[in-house]
Chain A
Amino acid sequence: MATRITQRFEALQQQNRAALVTFVMAGDPDPEGTLQVLKALADNGADVIELGMPFTDPMADGPAIQKATLRALEGGQTQRKTLDVVRRFRAENNTTPIVLMGYYNPIYRYGVDAFLADARQAGVDGLIVVDLPPEHDNELCLPARQADIDFIRLATPTTDAKRLPKVLENTSGFLYYVSVAGVTGARAPTPADVEAAVARIKTHTDLPVAVGFGIRTAEQARAIARFSDAVVVGSALVECVEKAATADEAAQQVAKLTSELAEGVRSARDVAAQ
C-alpha cells in the first residue's frame, strides 16, 4: 500500500521539484502551540513534517534541538501527548505526511507493538529513530513496516559503498542523507560534496533522497534542492519557536521562514534550468 509519504513524493516528482521537509519538536512551545506550529508548516509549503519526540538524552542533536527537548519535557510532554497532537492535526489535514523522529528508549518503554498500533491509528506515516542502525532492524524497523509505517533511515558521510546496501535494505519512504558528520544544526554542508554523495547513493536506490543537517536559509535550500529529492530544515525552525514570546508568535515566525524555504525549494530547478 502506498503511504502518504510515497504518494507525496510521487506527486512532487511529477511537478519536477524537491520536497521541503520540516522538523519541529512536539510539546514545544507547549502542547497547544505545537498544533498551531504544525498547521503553520503545512499551510506555508512544508511537504513533509518531521515531529520530534523529546528525549532527555539527545546524543545526536546540537544545542537548538537539545533546548527544544528540555522545553518540551519541562512542559510535561509525553509520547501519548505527541500522538495526540498528530491525531488532532490529522483530523484537519489528511495529506501532509508526518514522520516521528527521535530516540528508541521512549518507544521501547511504551512497548513497540502498542506504540506502532497507536501511532498508526493517530495518523503517523513514518519513523526516524536515530539510535537504531540496521543491525537492530528486528527491534522496530521490521515491525513498523508490517504496520504500514515507513522506516526512514539515515545515511551519513561515513556510510561507505560497502555499508550503504545494508542501510538501504529495509528503508522505506525516503532516505535521509546527513550532509555533514556531526550533530543537528551544526556547520553548513558544501553543496558540491553533497551533490556527489547524493549521486552516489542514487546508483544504489530508487528511493527519494532527502538531505539535511546544517541547512538554515532559503538560499541553502535552493542550492540543495537542485539535485536532491528533499531538503530538511530543523534547527532554524526550532529556533523560531525558541525566540518567540508566545505560541501565536512562534506559529507566525515558523510560517514566515517556511514560506521562504518553500520558495527556495520550489524555484531551485527553474534557476538551474536557466
Chain B
Amino acid sequence: MTSSAPLYADGPDPYGFYGDFGGRFVAETLMPLILELEEAYQESRHDKAFRDELAYYQSDYIGRPNPLYYAERLTEELGGAKIYLKREDLNHTGAHKINNCIGQILLARKMGKKRIIAETGAGMHGVATATVAARFGMKCVIYMGATDIERQEPNVFRMRLLGAEVVPVTSGTGTLKDAMNEALRDWVTNVDDTFYIIGTVAGPHPYPAMVRDFQAVIGRETREQMLKKEGRLPDSLVACIGGGSNAMGLFGPMLNDSSVAMIGVEAGGHGIATGEHAASLNGGEPGVLHGNRTYLLQSDDGQIKDAHSVSAGLDYPGIGPEHAYLSTTGRVEYVSITDDEAIEAFKRCCHLEGIIPALESAHAIAHALKIAPQLPSDHLMVISLSGRGDKDMSSVAEYLKRNGEYVGVPGKEGNEDQHGTEENR
C-alpha cells in the first residue's frame, strides 16, 4: 500500500545534508568541536546506558509521557475533524524545549564539558537550558536579544532565578538571530570547556539531526497513544514552526506512515505580502546562515532580513534544513498564519478548552480552525500544543488593548466590555 512512497531516512547524509539543505557551514575554529560533538552524539545514540538515563529524566524530571488529549469542545464547535492536543505544555518548564535540553546536557556531561551556553528568543529555550544546567550543576550563560528581553521579562527573571547569566545582545537588531551570532562568538572563544545547546533543528550538522532525535519522543508517544485510543494512526498532524523543533519531533517518527498528512504552520506576521513575517518557506529564498543551508528571509543581495511575529518564539528568519527538504519533496505542507489569526485561536483555545496555549502553538491551532470544519468527523487530527501561554500574558494584553479589546482587572480602566463588570463577577 505504501510501496510507491519514498522512504525517509533516519537522518541526513554523512555530510549533514537533507537533499540540498543542511551542511556544516561554520568557521574553522568550530569544525573540530562539531566533529567531536558528532562523534559523541553517534556513540550515545547506540549506548544503552545513555538511553536509559535519558528515559529516566524524561519520565521523572520532565513528567513524560504527557497526555494526548481529546479536545472535545473544540471538536464540537468546529463540527469536523476529531481534534487531539499533544500536551507538551504540561512538561516541566512548560514547553517541548526541555526534551532537547535534557538530552544535550547529558551529552555535555558525557563529553566532560563544564559550561553551557544557549541562545533564546521567547525565553522558553533559555529557561529550559537554565533549568537543566541548574540540575546538573553547570555554569550557564544565555544570550538573548535586547528587544526580546523587554517583551519576555518574566522568562528573564526565571532564568536568573535558576542561576543563569542572561547576556543582553544589542548587536545587529537585538533579536534571536543576533543572540545566535553572539552564542557562536562565545563558543569560538571558549572552545575548551563550553557546550552550546542549540534550541531548534537548525545550525550546523549534527544539531538538526540531534535535536530532532531528542524531540522525537513527541511523535513516538503520539503514535502509540493514538493507536491505543483510536486503534489507528492519526490522519493529520499540525504543528507551528519557528526553527521547527516541535514539528520535527512530532512529524519525524511518522514520516514513513504515508497515510498521515503533515502540516507545518509558519508565522505570517502581518501577512506574507507585507514583508513583515517570519515565514521562511512561504516568503524566503535558499541561503546559508548559522551553519546550514536552508530557506531564509533575505534581500536580493543576500543580507538577512528581520523576521516579524507577535510570537517571539517564531521570530527567526530561517527554518530547520530538514523542513526545507520536506517542503521540496512535498511530504509536509507548509502554510502560514497571521498574528491576528493566531490571537483569535489563542482566545478560542482559552474559552473552549480551558487551556492557555503559547502564542507559538496558537498558530497551529489557528490553522486547525481553518481546515477542521471541512474534514469528516472520522478524521483524526493532532495539534502540537508545544507550550503554555503564561509567558505571553503581556504580549496578548497589549495586542488586545491595541485592538480595542480589554481583558483586565475588574474595577480598573477599560473593563466595561463583554467580559463583564465587577458587579456580575
Distance in angstroms from A209 CB to nearest chain B CB is 14
Contacting pair B28 A79 (CB below 8 A): no
Contacting pair B184 A59 (CB below 8 A): yes
B290 within 8 Å of A by Cβ?
yes
Shortest Cβ distance from A153 into B: residue: B28
Shortest Cβ distance from B189 into A: residue: A182
* Size bracket of the A interface: 35 or more
Contacting pair A110 B302 (CB below 8 A): yes
Distance in angstroms from B304 CB to nearest chain A CB is 4
Instruction: Identify which of residues 275-333 in chain B touch chain A, using a CB-to-CB cut-off of 8 Å.
Output: 285-291, 293, 296, 298, 300-304
The answer, among A56, A108, A133, A156, for a CB contact under 8 Å with B24, is: A133
Instruction: Identify which of residues 24-72 in chain A touch chain B, using a CB-to-CB cut-off of 8 Å.
Output: 55-60, 62-63, 66, 70
B407 within 8 Å of A by Cβ?
no
Q: Per-residue CB proximity of B180-203 to A under 8 Å, as 1/0?
A: 010011001111000000000000
B25 within 8 Å of A by Cβ?
yes
Shortest Cβ distance from B25 into A: residue: A131
Shortest Cβ distance from A181 into B: residue: B191
A14 within 8 Å of B by Cβ?
no
- B interface size (C-beta, 8 A): 38
Contacting pair A181 B28 (CB below 8 A): no
Residues in A whose Cβ lies below 8 Å from that of B172:
56-57, 66, 70
A107 within 8 Å of B by Cβ?
yes
Shortest Cβ distance from A133 into B: residue: B31
B26 within 8 Å of A by Cβ?
yes
Contacting pair A135 B298 (CB below 8 A): no
Distance in angstroms from A58 CB to nearest chain B CB is 7
The answer, among B24, B30, B285, B304, for a CB contact under 8 Å with A57, is: B304
Contacting pair A60 B300 (CB below 8 A): no
Contacting pair A108 B287 (CB below 8 A): yes
- Contact A181:B24 (CB < 8 A) given known A110-B302, A158-B33: no
Shortest Cβ distance from A162 into B: residue: B32
The answer, among B27, B287, B290, B293, for a CB contact under 8 Å with A130, is: B27
Measured between alpha carbons, how far is A104 from B303 in the docked complex, in Å? 11
Residues in A whose Cβ lies below 8 Å from that of B304:
56-57, 105
Distance in angstroms from B285 CB to nearest chain A CB is 7
The answer, among B27, B177, B287, B290, for a CB contact under 8 Å with A109, is: B287
A253 within 8 Å of B by Cβ?
no
Instruction: Identify which of residues 126-176 in chain A touch chain B, using a CB-to-CB cut-off of 8 Å.
Output: 130-133, 135-136, 153-160, 163, 167
A106 within 8 Å of B by Cβ?
yes
B171 within 8 Å of A by Cβ?
yes
Instruction: Identify which of residues 209-266 in chain A touch chain B, using a CB-to-CB cut-off of 8 Å.
Output: none
Contacting pair B28 A57 (CB below 8 A): no
Distance in angstroms from A85 CB to nearest chain B CB is 15
A267 within 8 Å of B by Cβ?
no
A186 within 8 Å of B by Cβ?
yes
Measured between alpha carbons, how far is A60 from B296 in the docked complex, in Å? 20
Measured between alpha carbons, how far is A81 from B288 in the docked complex, in Å? 21
Contacting pair A156 B302 (CB below 8 A): no
Contacting pair A136 B189 (CB below 8 A): no
- Contact A158:B29 (CB < 8 A) given known A60-B188, A105-B298, A109-B285: yes
Contacting pair A136 B302 (CB below 8 A): no
Residues in B whose Cβ lies below 8 Å from that of A135:
15, 23-24, 31
Distance in angstroms from A115 CB to nearest chain B CB is 10
A6 within 8 Å of B by Cβ?
no
The answer, among A60, A70, A78, A158, for a CB contact under 8 Å with B185, is: A60
A12 within 8 Å of B by Cβ?
no
Contacting pair B290 A79 (CB below 8 A): no
Distance in angstroms from A125 CB to nearest chain B CB is 21
Distance in angstroms from B379 CB to nearest chain A CB is 41
Residues in A whose Cβ lies below 8 Å from that of B30:
158
Contacting pair B288 A105 (CB below 8 A): yes
Contacting pair A178 B303 (CB below 8 A): no
Contacting pair A108 B302 (CB below 8 A): yes
Distance in angstroms from B290 CB to nearest chain A CB is 7
Distance in angstroms from B95 CB to nearest chain A CB is 26
Contacting pair A109 B302 (CB below 8 A): yes
Q: Per-residue CB proximity of B1-44 to A under 8 Å, as 1/0?
A: 00000000000000100000001111111111100000000000
Q: A154-B28, A158-B33 are in contact. List 19 more A-B contacts (CB 8 A).
A: A57-B289, A59-B184, A62-B185, A73-B303, A79-B301, A105-B302, A108-B302, A110-B302, A131-B25, A131-B27, A153-B28, A158-B28, A158-B32, A159-B28, A159-B31, A163-B32, A181-B29, A181-B188, A181-B191
Q: List 26 A-B contacts (CB under 8 A).
A: A56-B172, A57-B181, A57-B289, A57-B290, A57-B304, A58-B181, A59-B185, A73-B303, A79-B301, A105-B296, A108-B293, A109-B287, A109-B301, A110-B301, A133-B27, A133-B28, A154-B28, A156-B27, A156-B29, A158-B33, A159-B32, A178-B28, A178-B29, A181-B190, A182-B189, A183-B188
The interface of chain A, by Cβ under 8 A from chain B, is 55-60, 62-63, 66, 70, 73, 78-80, 103-110, 130-133, 135-136, 153-160, 163, 167, 178, 181-183, 186
